[in-house]
Amino acid sequence: MNLEQAKARTRALLNVIETVYELKITNLEKIIETITEQTLDENKILTICTGLNTWVALNAALGGVVEVPQEVVIGLVERIVF
């Protein structure tokens, strides 16, 4: 998967999270950059986004706005990619 495909895949997965929880992730672009700078592997991207889905489910209010802490994203990337 090339960089643009990886970014599109990551965006699509994060958009699903936004839709399911009826919220807006304010730092969506930064999350996409952080993930795709470290991996272009589709399975790893899916695993990271699954972890983000769990974080959002436990920490965000339905129908609101959320900023996922960069530490959360980096922590997931480090555990899954490395």
28 to 11, 36, 52, 54, 64: CA distances (angstroms):
8, 12, 11, 16, 14
pLDDT band for 5, please (50, 70, 90 cuts). Answer: very high
pLDDT band for 81, please (50, 70, 90 cuts). Answer: very high
Q: Identify the pLDDT of residue 44.
A: 98
- The pLDDT of 1-5, averaged and rounded, is 97
- Give the DSSP letter of residue 1: -
The pLDDT tens digits of the residues spanning 25-74 come to 999 999 999 999 999 999 999 999 999 999 999 998 878 999 999 999 99
Q: Identify the pLDDT of residue 79.
A: 96
CA distance 1 to 52: 21
Q: Identify the pLDDT of residue 62.
A: 79
Neighbours of 14 (CB within 10 A): 21
